Structure 1
Amino acid sequence: MAISSPKDITPPSLQEDGKLAGDKVAAFMMHGRDWDGSQDPSGWIMSEKLDGVRAFWNGSKLYSKNGKELPVPAEFTSTLPKDVFLDGEIWVGYDTLSKLTSILKKSVNMKNEPTRGLLWKDVRYCVFDSPMHPGNYQERHAHAAEAVSECGTNIHLIPIEFCSGLDHLQNKLDQIVELKGEGIMLYNPEATYSSGRNSNILKVKMHLEEDVTFLECNPNSYSFKCQQSNGIQCMVKCSSWDYTHPPPNGTSLTVRHNGYFKTSRKIKYPFLLRINQSNSII
């Protein structure tokens, strides 16, 4: 199968300056909705949902879901195709999101390429889609597979398989959670790539996410004192880097948690996932 050039299938509205970059990337990217259990997964395509940072390759640079250019070393993307757009996640490993966010933040002002390359030695770009291909998900995934087949060892393709039903989905989710993974993505096998959040992609996760408001640092541990939307205060665990670089008071934070305590309605075991600032990388 020949690899199509982006210029052949890029929507005209994105071709005004010949580039898909920055805010245009953010507007173009497709995002899934949470699976609520009512959708029968039989016949849908499933793949592992990695606990990383979303990264869109436009043929020359990697961008986050916010349209920010990711501060990757030149060597990291040197083997990626220049004529194919890719969607994926940069990832270090299971249960290491805080390590990855620390790498990203340290890389922003790092000018020494060899030093930055060493910092990124364990990071991988894990591809799951070829957004500009006009086909359904299976066709786009096959297109992405061919595009990265001769890339460097830091570039990976996330495998896919058809889901046979709820038991298959639950067994797969249990395997991933056992590895301390995040969850599963379900894809409508017939849907094309469509910008924005839609129900042709469903996220199946064991963890929940919620936005809280930062109040202050906890002087006794690496955690932030925050306020939930219901007015209840909680302590949110964070990395040492985030603790020493706290956001301004009142900043919105997205945290991952394990549900709510029945009586207090306080979220269980919250951990900082990201800081929601306009200048945030991720």
Structure 2
Amino acid sequence: MATAAAGKAKQKCKYGSKCYRKNKLHLDDYHHSDDGDTDTEMDEVKKEPKPAATPKPKPRLVHGVSVADGAEDDPWKTRLQKRKSEEESAALAEVMCLKKRKTEEGFVVTKAGPSRAPSFKKAKKKVKKFKAKKEKCKYWSKCYRKEKAHLAEFRHPGEKENEDEDGDEKMEEPRKKRGQELEALNELDEDDRVEFSTGYMLERDGDIYSCSCNEWKNQTENEKQRTCKHLKEYLGEEFDKARVTKAKKKAYVAQHISVSVLLAHKYDEKANDPVGWWISEKLDGVRAFWNGRCFYSRLGNAFYAPAWFTKDLPQNMTLDGELFGGRGLFQSTVSIVKTAECDNYKKIKYHVFDTPSLEAKPFEERIQAIKDYFEEKKPKYAVFVEHTKCTSKKQLDDQLKYVLDRGGEGLMIRKPKSKYERTRSTTLLKIKKFYDAEAIVIGHEKGKGKNQFVCGALRCKMACGMEFSVGSGLTDKDRRNPPKKGSIITYKFQELSKSGKPRFPTYLGIRIDMTEPKDAEIREVIDDDS
């Protein structure tokens, strides 16, 4: 039966080649040739191996068109390239008109000395970094295309853009990345000058951008922090704002550091010959060490002066000097220095007499380096302390008398060609004249620390009735057995304070030949200005 079934002629399927049935029984009973081929022919066709099908490129869905990947005639890619080329040409044309545009806006760029053409550096960067603006995809959120060419040309939801008042979308300005510097709208290099048609002049000196207008001149801030409408117009408001903000940021200043400065010994006229040494006035102020950023005391405590007070001081050279408000104004100077960044700093100046940065150099080279800096920068709130060569003992005595008669504290003398030693040294000597006087003991003050069980200071009264305490000069024996109440003592002091009390009193001993106190005769101070 199998043989009979195999030899049985097949009927033609009424669907012909359009038949979709593939089961074996249907194929055995019907042939599907439209031209009437026999079943034998159909069997032979079925027995022939099918050639391997060539893989067709996967179709890429586009709006209304199906384009295979890799097709050479990609309309979207061609359109993007054409758009970029047109936009780049337009940008380049704008760059070439930069000089003309600047002149029309009322300013030209000139160089100190010979004139030169404006720089096109920034304009070239603009062309190099050019990117074509995207148009909004008409399918917007319903768009399903993900190929790079399409995404590069059209905008879709989720990209960073906002809408203007009319509702049309516009691209946001590119945001500055962290650590990336803003670029000025127009470059202003060092030694460049920009002259506006109104007559105002912009200049740059390092980080200082200045203008000749009154708006810039009348500001009290540091020169680095000043700005005006002309700078904003030329540099761009964003760049100018970032520049001023950066200048106002205060660098970290330590409250305490380790400080080692040169300290003086006392002058002994019997042991020291001053001839050939350098003489300067001993200033009655606050010793201050400048480390390039802040003032510090001998103990390393910070003095926070205003920025306008220190702006002219060097940042790469340390200085040694005194914050000085004038002769006889020690207490007011201390009050000013202890108040951080107060306006009263205008009443004092920084008197510089050495630079520890050049500690290995001889004194003459160190003071010359300070002179050179002061002549170049001309700091407003700093003064160079002049030094005079001593030619004789008489000259020293005459200069000491001159200073003391005018309310000064004394003199300092320095050994020639000496190095800067960060300790107490015999190369620097101080000369001071003290007053001697007598006072009556009216009480004893308890000591502190190691002297808590003995006398810490003597409470005394002057002939004028002013009371004060003296603890300096007391030996351990004096503290254990201090002068009795009613005793007359001799003490020395430097000068009287504004309140009339002795400054820096030192106990010398008991006067057994006196029964009443006696005040010192204070020398009359000569006022050179009167």
Partner of 2:356: 131
How many residues are aligned here?
226
Contact 1:84 1:147 in 2 (8 A): no
Aligned to 1:177: 404
Equivalence for 1:225: 469
Tell me, yes or no, if the aligned pair for 1:88 and 1:128 is still in contact at 8 Å: yes
Q: Which amino acid aligns with 1:54?
A: R
Q: Secondary structure at the match of 2:370?
A: helix
Q: C-alpha separation between the residues in 1 aligned to 2:272 and 2:279?
A: 13
Taking a change above 3 Å as real, the CA distance of residues 227 and 257 of structure 1, as seen in their structure-2 partners, is closer
Which residue matches 1:167? 394
Map of 1:263 onto structure 2 = 511
The amino acid across from 2:417 in the alignment is E
Q: Distance in 1 between matches of 2:255 and 2:417?
A: 27
User: Is the contact made by 1:138 and 1:189 (CA closer than 8 Å) also made in structure 2?
Assistant: yes
Whose RCO is larger (CA < 8 A, sep 6+)?
1
2:228 maps to none
> In 2, distance between residues paired with 1:20 and 1:187?
32
Q: Aligned equivalents of 1:58 and 1:201: distance in 2? A: 22
- 1:134-176 per-residue CA deviation (whole Å, 9 max, x = no partner) reads 2111111111112233243221001011101211110110111
Which residue number corresponds to residue 185 of structure 2? none
Residues in 1 aligned to 2:410 and 2:387: alpha-carbon distance in whole angstroms: 13
SS of equivalent to 2:504: strand
CA 1:170–1:24: 2 relative to 1, 3 Å: same
**More helix as a share of residues:** 2
Cα gap change, 1:208 to 1:146, in 2 (>3 Å): farther
Residue 192 of structure 1 pairs with residue 419 of structure 2: yes
Partner Cα separation in structure 2 for residue 206 and residue 94 of structure 1: 15
1:66-88 deviation per Cα after TM superposition (whole angstroms, max 9, x unaligned)? 11111322221111011111100
TM-score scaled by structure 1?
0.68
**8 A contact 1:257–1:267 mirrored in 2:** no
Q: In structure 2, what residue type is equivalent to 1:122?
A: K
What residue is the counterpart of 2:122 in the other structure?
none
Q: Contact 1:43–1:164 (CA<8 Å) still a contact in 2?
A: yes
Match of 1:81 among 314, 329, 333: 314
Preserved CA contact (<8 Å) 1:51 1:182: yes
Q: Hey, what's the Cα distance between the residues in 1 that align with 2:304 and 2:435?
A: 29
CA drift at 1:226: 4.0
> 1:145 maps to which residue?
371
Quick check: which has more Rg, 1 or 2? 2
> Is the counterpart of residue 98 in structure 1 residue 331 in structure 2?
yes
Map Cα deviations across residues 186-224 of structure 1 (whole Å, 9 max, x no partner): 111121001110100000111379xx9568899x98854
Matches within 5 A, 1:23-62: 23-25=257-259, 28-37=260-269, 38-62=271-295
Residue 248 of structure 1 corresponds to none
Aligned-CA RMSD value: 3.6
Query: Pick from 428, 431, 434: which aligns with 1:207?
Result: 434
Change beyond 3 A, Cα 1:146–1:71: same
What's 2:178 paired with?
none
Q: What is the rounded CA distance, in whole Å, between the counterparts of 2:273 and 2:308 in structure 1?
A: 43
AA in 1 matched with 2:265: R
**Does the 8 Å contact 1:183/1:204 carry over to 2?**
yes
Match for 2:281: what amino acid? E
CA 1:200 to 1:239, structure 2 compared with 1: closer, same or farther past 3 Å? same
Q: Which amino acid aligns with 1:206?
A: K
Matches within 5 A, 1:249-260: 255-257=503-505, 260=508
C-alpha displacement of 1:258: 8.6
Structure-2 separation of matches of 1:163 and 1:206: 19
* Contact kept in structure 2, 1:260 and 1:268, CA below 8 Å: no
Q: TM-score, normalised by structure 2?
A: 0.38
User: What secondary structure does 1:87 align onto?
Assistant: strand
Identity %: 27
Distance of 2:254 and 2:414 partners within structure 1: 24
| Aligned mate of 1:122, from 327, 338, 347 | 347
Which structure has more strand as a fraction of its residues?
Answer: 1
Between the aligned partners of 1:268 and 1:200, the Cα distance in structure 2 is 36
**How far apart, in 2, do the equivalents of 1:267 and 1:72 lie?**
43
Aligned to 2:297: 64
Contact residue 470 and residue 506 of structure 2 kept, 8 A? no
Cα pair distance change 1:208/1:217, threshold 3 Å: closer
Give the distance between the partners of 1:20 and 1:69, measured in 2 at CA. Answer: 7
Return the alpha-carbon distance in structure 2 between the equivalents of residues 31 and 92 of structure 1: 21
Gaps of 5+ in 2: 1-252, 437-454, 521-530
For the Cα contact (< 8 Å) 2:296–2:303, is it kept in 1? yes
C-alpha change, 1:122 and 1:223, in structure 2 (3 Å) is: farther
